[in-house]
Amino acid sequence: MKNLTITVEDSVLEWARVEAARRGTSVSRMVGDFMAELQQREDSYERAYLAWRTDERSWQGGATPEAPPVAAVPRKIGSRRKTGQEGA
């Protein structure tokens, strides 16, 4: 493992110390875990994006499923809402 030096506002460091104590860990471990989680999330997103980009079926015509029909919304034809500003 390597060491890392970071610069943060005093209020952020105070919060991190309290939060680390609440979690029963150190600020260093908490920051390391956060960065590892962020890396895992980004890697998962990148893999999903690349899988989508290389999926040939999504680029061929007719290969996508047809959208379900939209339910008809009943409307009164010719009726208008009165706003009190007609003819003004």
Q: 71: left (phi > 0), else alpha (psi -120 to 50), else beta?
A: beta
pLDDT digits (tens, 9 = 90+) for 18-71: 999 999 999 999 999 999 999 999 888 888 888 888 886 655 655 555 656 666
What does the pLDDT read at residue 75? 59
For the question of whether the overall pTM of this predicted structure is more than 0.85, the answer is no
Nearest to 14 by CA among 4, 29, 27, 5: 27
